[in-house]
């Protein structure tokens, strides 16, 4: 029976009456073992967040030439486009295509003029 408040489980960590050990998920662990494990977990977390060792620098690249305008761009959509009318758009795939087609037809300047 659970007569004393100290006998009731209050969570995963419960100090015992001696104060020198801790019951951790049903296993009795000494304070030294508990603090050592916590220190090890903290060191592991700090080590895992540290940056990776620097690798060899990338070789310098040639400057890019002038872009070639025109041509054809081919890309894949996850679904077929249902409708090319932006007012009747029902699918997210349609909206992606609408932005590419209709968004560049009109420009708005900083004053808000079309």
Q: Is the pTM value of this prediction over 0.75?
A: no
Predicted local confidence at residue 33, as pLDDT: 83
How far is the CA of 97 from the CAs of 20, 83, 93, 107, in angstroms? 67, 10, 7, 18
Among 2, 9, 43, residue whose Cα is nearest residue 23: 9
Q: What are phi and psi of 53, to 5 degrees?
A: -65, 140
Q: 56-111: per-residue pLDDT in tens?
A: 777 788 887 887 788 887 878 888 888 888 888 888 888 888 888 887 777 788 89
pLDDT grade for 34, boundaries at 50, 70 and 90: confident
Reduce the DSSP state of residue 24 to 3 states and report it. strand
Whether the pLDDT of residue 113 is over 80: the answer is yes
């Amino acid at each position: 029976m659970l007569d004393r408040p100290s006998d009731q489980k209050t969570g995963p960590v419960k100090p015992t009456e001696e104060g020198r050990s801790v019951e951790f998920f049903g296993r009795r662990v000494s304070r030294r073992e508990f603090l050592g494990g916590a220190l090890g977990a903290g060191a592991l977390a700090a080590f895992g967040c540290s940056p990776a060792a620097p690798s060899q620098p990338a070789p310098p690249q040639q400057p890019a030439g002038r872009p070639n305008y025109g041509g054809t761009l081919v890309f894949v959509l996850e679904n077929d486009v249902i409708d090319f009318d932006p007012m009747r758009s029902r699918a997210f795939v349609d909206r992606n295509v609408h932005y590419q087609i209709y968004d560049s037809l009109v420009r708005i300047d900083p004053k808000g003029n079309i």
